[in-house]
Amino acid sequence: MRTIDEIIIHCSATPPNMYVDAKLVDDWHKQRGWSGIGYHFFIKRDGQIELGRPLEKQGAHTKNHNKNSIGLCYAGGVDKDMSPEDNRTSAQIASLLSLLRLLKNIFPKATIHGHRDFSTKSCPSFDATNEYCTL
Ligand SMILES: [Zn+2]
């Protein structure tokens, strides 16, 4: 297994009424010429956690931070006008918390971040670092 020191959270930057799953993101990322979905986990609007890229493989989600990180993405994150909005469903909030707790058990030294900690983007549309600082 590669060294994991960061867990980085993303949103799909899609409006809340749009159905997005790991397969669709896989298609999008292949269209960009990548080998497939750049995230390791994807959380659908209904809270279902889907597997993306295998954990032992480096992801493609955060510039200069892919080598030693795990990338998580939830469906949503913008409103109908594509402006950043924390519109996570209660099911997504619960799934995200469970997944982060599990990952912190496996990789206790890993710190949790939002994409925006490393980018000028607003992704994932909420303050992940603050929300999960006690995990
Ligand atoms: Zn992102």
Structural domains in the chain plus CATH codes: 6-131 (3.40.80.10)
pTM greater than the 0.95 cutoff: yes
Nearest to 6 by CA among 106, 113, 125: 113
Give catalytic status of residue 39 as yes or no.
yes
Residue 112's DSSP bridge partners are: 7
Give catalytic status of residue 61 as yes or no.
no
Q: Which of 11, 39, 44, 65 is catalytic?
A: 39
Residue 92, helix vs strand vs coil: helix
pLDDT of residue 100: 98
CB neighbour burial string for 51-72, b if at least 16 within 10 angstroms, e if fewer: ebbebeeebbbbeebbeebbbb
Q: Which of 40, 44, 113, 115 is catalytic?
A: 115
Show pLDDT as tens, one digit a residue, over the chain (135 residues). 899 999 999 999 999 999 999 999 999 999 999 999 999 999 999 999 999 999 999 999 999 999 999 999 999 999 999 999 999 999 999 999 999 999 999 999 999 999 999 999 999 999 999 999 999
